[in-house]
Amino acid sequence: MPNKTKKNVAKEAKPVKAEAAPVKEVAPKKGPTPTKMRARDYRHKAIDIVKPMSGDFAVTYLVYSVIIGAFSAIAGALALIDPMKFDPATQTFSGSGVGMAISSALIALFTILTTGAFTYSLINLSRQARAKKKPTVGGIFYGFKERYTQSLGVYVMQTIFTALWTLLLIIPGIIKSFSYSMALYIALDNPNKTTLDCITESRKLMNGNKWKLFCLRISYIGWFILMILTLGILGFWVLPKFNQAQYEFYLHITHKD
């Protein structure tokens, strides 16, 4: 049998197919990890936003304080009408105390009807400041002109729920006040949400975040003491930054920052 030449052997040899390398599954890329924020980070961010328009904020908060102060003065004057007095000699009371009753009723009514709308307005001022819009005096009344019913409903339900928890013990009431603290922020961003939806969403949102908000608020205690020492005047510059810091906190925990 004739020997096969190398050439013939090469032709007859079948090519060996290389095994394909296993394909590695590529994990889907994750989104950017949210930056961990501390109380000082919110404070610094608030300063950067508010500082260029601090004069406008001071005027706006001054007008807001005058409105609250004027009503308080009127209520105080009404309390002086036929006040109830105690006579130690006869161990009896004189006077009907009708002025105090009227004053207390007016203060309660004013608080219920205006606190939600004013808070709504101040949150909106912080939202506008982030968009580099200067605050105006008219902005204080935003909550009365836009969605007043929603702000009123959220505030009333917040107050009722917090009061009910406080009846159990003081501490649970304080904790729940933090749970419901973002309800008006949520309402501002979601005009179609019901009152209870805003309360429920705030409660869920604040799971794991209540302590962070507490730390943010307590970090301003030094400024609050200085406000007292300056008879509240410093508050026209401190409170806008305090409210802005809380708005930045809300944006961060809702991943809108």
Q: What is the pLDDT of residues 83-137, one digit of tens each?
A: 777 667 766 766 667 878 888 899 999 999 999 999 999 999 999 999 999 999 9
Classify residue 30: in a domain, yes or no: no
Is 70 exceeded by the pLDDT of residue 33?
A: no
Structural domain includes residue 17: no
Q: Is residue 40 part of a domain?
A: no
145 falls within a domain: yes
Give the number of other CB atoms < 10 A from CB of residue 39: 18
pLDDT band of residue 202 (cuts 50, 70, 90) is: very high
Structurally, the chain folds into a number of domains equal to 1
Contacts of 145 (CB under 8 A, 6+ apart): none
Report the Cα 68 to chain-centroid distance in Å.
Answer: 21
Q: Is residue 12 part of a domain?
A: no
Has residue 20 been placed in a domain? no
C-beta separation of 129 from 136 below 8 A: no
Residue at 124 is within a domain? yes
Query: What is the reported pTM?
Result: 0.81
**pLDDT of 42:** 96
Q: Is residue 24 part of a domain?
A: no
Structural domain of 201: 46-84+91-253
